[in-house]
């Protein structure tokens, strides 16, 4: 048995019974990293040396029976847009290649309180803008199931790391699917909590009304453990909410809606088949399943690609070569800023800043950004109406299996379409999870997405665990252990 | 919706110095994307209300108490500056 394949609860049980030491597990995940990093490039930086002492402290706590946390001694990888004090936070951008964070993100403070060990910082699409981890200034990350394919994005490094077992779990961020899509492409669980339940303080902002931190894990229970550890209201994030969870049924008294618009053209047969497979299982267990239509979902990409770039253009205005990050000289401050931003940002980031700047500019604001805001409000209302009829909504997580590296890089719109199923949850602030359910004919993972009403995260996790237990997906990428 | 835009003007507003080649390729990309988002113009909305909300759960934002809390020290705040002197950020002149 390889301990790096186990769930957090199983590992904690071995630690408690003194059958495994945190330092042994820590060495094991770094052994896995040594086997996989050259091929996958999941991590941008590995923290091995710095954390050996902390692993030994975990050993001592378990040896003395003093450990009180399920996450004590668990090696977790952190997406490199989340600040850890005294470490670099690059956002995979040349702009921040020399930035060392002087503070911890709230989620990092919380994990440190639980004595979690960090494996390092993982690769992402620059500033979390992308769906394939091909937009990193520091090189591609590959899919651990087949290195010809992308791991998804933007949290592709986090997903590849958990897939190759160079971490037990990882944190990602999800603005339009950046946790769920790479989790699906890598055969893992990816959970985007309700907007506001997890503090964004210390997450480098991309689109503040959409961004949310969450876990990428091997099991639903692992996501539950991490979510309960990192959630909670935070005065340093004005949009954070009190995590007062609603209880909705997860047993077979629950009603499930299949979203019609996400089972039509543009969705592969393989992706639809996974949803149908889960629906049949649920029906056989006595769940009531019905088709639900939410027509405005078809406009998700249009709404998102106005709102997210608009917010991005405002948030990324801070990178001006004055206070932190890259500076490229110029004769005046303005020239310096223009040169710095020309040199520091990659193509996709420039594309989105320009799109957002245009959508917010005088004369175009009403017809672009204003219209998108109205449509977003309408989508939120439509979801609220739908959740009066059903408890959970099911769809594919992604329209297809993982695509090949380079396949979509020349056509930005085609890349954007790969987030069709995941974007609605961000626009409406809903909790949403991707669960792995099967393999495609190319032997690549496929998953289904479940969404529920705001603040029903715990019930969503309970329901997802029922599906996980029924589906029994036990696939794992080969060759990295 | 109109798709007329002047890429040089947008780049100026965004403070990004674009090469000629970038202007061409980004102009082309933006046209394709804007053509797609134009689908929104056909949308018949129930409400004509244009709400600016920053919170999908519609949480009302509250003002914080004016209290001194622990924060970065001056040295920490300036530690990543490309250029600093006597604890201050140094920038090129604003005018030539």
C-alpha pair distances (Å), B36 with each of A238, B31, B39: 33, 9, 6
pLDDT digits (tens, 9 = 90+) for A355-407: 999 999 988 888 899 899 999 999 999 999 999 999 999 999 999 999 999 99
Query: Nearest CA to B51 among A307, A298, A297, A451?
Result: A307
Query: Across residues A170-183, what is the average pLDDT?
Result: 98
C-alpha pair distances (Å), A445 with each of A142, A144, A432: 14, 11, 18
pLDDT at site B1: 46
As separate numbers, helices (DSSP H) first and strands (DSSP E) second, chain A gives 15, 11
Higher confidence at residue A315 or residue B57? Answer: A315
Share of chain A above pLDDT 70, in %: 100
What is the DSSP code (8-state) at residue A88?
B
Q: Are A87 and A101 in contact (CB under 8 A)?
A: yes
By C-alpha distance, the chain B residue nearest A97 is B80
Distance CA A212, CA A154 (A): 13
Query: Nearest CA to A358 among B22, B48, B1?
Result: B1
Enumerate the residues of chain A whose CB falls inside 8 A of the CB of residue B10: 354, 357-358, 361
For chain A, what is the mean pLDDT? 97
As separate numbers, helices (DSSP H) first and strands (DSSP E) second, chain B gives 3, 2
CB contact under 8 A, A305 and B82: no
| Torsion angle of C-alpha atoms A190, A193, A199, A202, degrees rounded to 10 | 20
Higher confidence at residue A156 or residue B39? Answer: A156
Distance CA A396, CA A273 (A): 9
pLDDT at site A47: 95
Q: For the purposes of burial, counting CB atoms within 10 Å of the CB of A146, is it exposed (0-12), middle (13-18) or buried (19 or more)?
A: middle
Distance CA A345, CA A156 (A): 19
Q: Are A403 and A150 in contact (CB under 8 A)?
A: yes
Half-sphere exposure of A188 (CA within 13 A, CB side): 40
Where do we find the tokens 């006597």? B86
CB contact under 8 A, A333 and B92: yes
pLDDT at site A367: 86
Which residues constitute the domain of residue A283? 1-481
With a cut of 0.85, is the ipTM above it? yes
CB contact under 8 A, B61 and A238: yes
Q: Are A343 and A328 in contact (CB under 8 A)?
A: yes
Share of chain A above pLDDT 90, in %: 94
Paired tokens of A265: 């053209």
Whats the size of chain A, residue-wise? Answer: 481
pLDDT digits (tens, 9 = 90+) for A17-45: 999 999 999 999 999 999 999 999 999 99
What is the DSSP code (8-state) at residue A366?
I
Number of structural domains chain A divides into: 1
Chain B residues 66-95 with CB within 8 Å of chain A: 72, 76-83, 89, 91-95
- Phi, psi (degrees; rounded to nearest 5) at A453: -70, 160
Pick the CATH number of B1-38 from 2.30.30, 1.10.20, 1.10.357, 1.10.8: 1.10.20
The b-or-e profile of A398-416 (16+ CB within 10 A means b, else e) is bbbbbbebebbbeebeebb
* pTM (2 d.p.): 0.97
pLDDT at site B47: 64
pLDDT digits (tens, 9 = 90+) for A317-361: 999 999 999 999 999 999 999 999 999 999 999 999 999 999 999
Distance CA A392, CA A449 (A): 10
In DSSP notation, A372-391 reads HHHHHHHHHHHHHHHHHH-S
pLDDT at site B3: 52
Chain B residues 5-24 with CB within 8 Å of chain A: 5, 7, 10-11, 13-19, 22
**Residues of A catalogued as catalytic:** 79, 154, 178
pLDDT class of B19 with cuts at 50, 70, 90: very high
pLDDT digits (tens, 9 = 90+) for A244-278: 999 999 999 999 999 999 999 899 999 999 999 99
Paired tokens of A380: 């939120």
pLDDT at site A153: 97
pLDDT class of B69 with cuts at 50, 70, 90: confident
In DSSP notation, A238-292 reads TT-----PPP---STT-EEEEEGGGSSTTS-HHHHHHHHHHHHHHHHTT-EEEEE
Q: Are A253 and A195 in contact (CB under 8 A)?
A: no
Select the residue of B7, B51, B96 nearest A377 (Cβ to Cβ).
B51
Q: Residues A411, A128, A318, CA angle at the centre, nearest 5°?
A: 110
Report the 10 Å Cβ neighbour count for A372: 24
Query: Nearest CA to A240 among A191, A200, A202, A192?
Result: A200
Mutate to test the interface with B, among A294, A354, A409 (most CBs of B within 10 A): A354
- Phi, psi (degrees; rounded to nearest 5) at B8: -65, -40
The domain that contains A453 carries what CATH number? 3.90.1300.10
pLDDT class of B51 with cuts at 50, 70, 90: low
CB contact under 8 A, B51 and A196: no
Residue spans per domain, chain B: 1-38
By C-alpha distance, the chain A residue nearest B26 is A351
């Amino acid at each position: 048995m390889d301990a790096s394949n186990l769930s957090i609860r199983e590992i904690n049980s071995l630690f408690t019974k003194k059958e495994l030491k945190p330092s042994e597990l820590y060495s094991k995940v770094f052994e896995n990293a040594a086997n996989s990093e050259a091929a996958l490039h999941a991590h941008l930086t590995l923290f091995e040396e710095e954390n050996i002492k902390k692993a030994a402290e975990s050993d001592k706590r378990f040896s003395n029976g003093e450990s009180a946390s399920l996450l004590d001694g668990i090696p977790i990888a952190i997406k490199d847009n989340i600040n850890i004090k005294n470490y670099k936070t690059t956002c995979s951008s040349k702009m921040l290649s020399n930035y060392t964070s002087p503070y911890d993100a709230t989620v990092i403070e919380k994990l440190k309180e639980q004595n979690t060990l960090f494996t390092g910082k993982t690769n992402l699409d620059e500033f979390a803008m992308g769906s394939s981890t091909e937009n990193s200034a520091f090189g591609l990350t590959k899919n651990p199931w087949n290195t010809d394919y992308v791991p998804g994005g933007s949290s592709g490094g986090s997903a590849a790391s958990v897939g190759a077992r160079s971490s037990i779990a990882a944190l990602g961020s999800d603005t339009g699917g950046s946790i769920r899509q790479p989790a699906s492409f890598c055969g893992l669980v990816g959970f985007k909590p309700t907007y506001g339940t997890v503090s964004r303080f210390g997450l480098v902002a991309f689109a503040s009304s959409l961004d949310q931190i969450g876990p990428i894990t091997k099991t639903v229970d692992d996501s539950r453990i991490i979510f309960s550890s990192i959630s909670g209201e935070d005065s340093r994030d004005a949009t954070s909410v009190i995590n007062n969870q609603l209880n909705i049924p997860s047993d077979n008294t629950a009603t499930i809606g299949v979203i019609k618009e996400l089972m039509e053209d543009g969705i592969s047969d393989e992706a639809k088949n996974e949803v149908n497979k889960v629906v049949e299982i649920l029906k056989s267990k006595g769940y009531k399943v019905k088709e639900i239509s939410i027509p405005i979902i078809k406009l998700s990409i249009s709404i998102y690609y106005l709102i997210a770039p608009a917010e991005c253009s405002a948030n990324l205005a801070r990178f001006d070569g004055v206070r932190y990050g890259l500076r490229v000289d110029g004769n005046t401050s303005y020239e310096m800023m223009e040169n710095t931003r020309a040199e520091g940002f990659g193509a996709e980031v420039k594309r989105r800043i320009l799109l957002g700047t245009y959508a917010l500019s005088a004369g175009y604001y009403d017809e672009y950004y204003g219209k998108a805001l109205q449509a977003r409000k309408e989508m939120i209302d439509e979801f609220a109406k739908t959740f009066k009829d059903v408890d959970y909504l099911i769809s594919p997580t992604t329209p297809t299996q993982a695509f090949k590296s380079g396949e979509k890089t020349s056509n930005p719109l085609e890349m954007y379409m790969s987030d069709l199923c995941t974007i609605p949850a961000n626009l409406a602030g809903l909790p949403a999870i991707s669960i792995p359910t099967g393999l495609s004919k190319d032997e690549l993972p496929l998953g289904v997405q479940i969404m529920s009403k705001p603040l029903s995260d715990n019930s969503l996790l309970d329901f997802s665990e029922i599906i996980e237990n029924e589906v029994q997906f036990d696939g794992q990428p080969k060759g990295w252990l | 919706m109109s798709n007329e835009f002047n890429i040089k003007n947008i780049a100026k507003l965004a403070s990004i110095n674009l090469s000629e080649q970038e202007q061409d390729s980004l102009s082309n990309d933006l046209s394709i994307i804007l053509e797609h988002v134009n689908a929104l113009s056909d949308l018949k909305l129930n409400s004509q209300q244009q709400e600016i909300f920053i919170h999908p759960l519609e949480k009302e934002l509250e003002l914080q108490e004016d209290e001194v809390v622990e924060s970065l020290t001056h040295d920490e705040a300036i530690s990543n500056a490309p250029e600093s002197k006597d604890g201050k950020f140094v920038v090129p002149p604003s005018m030539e």
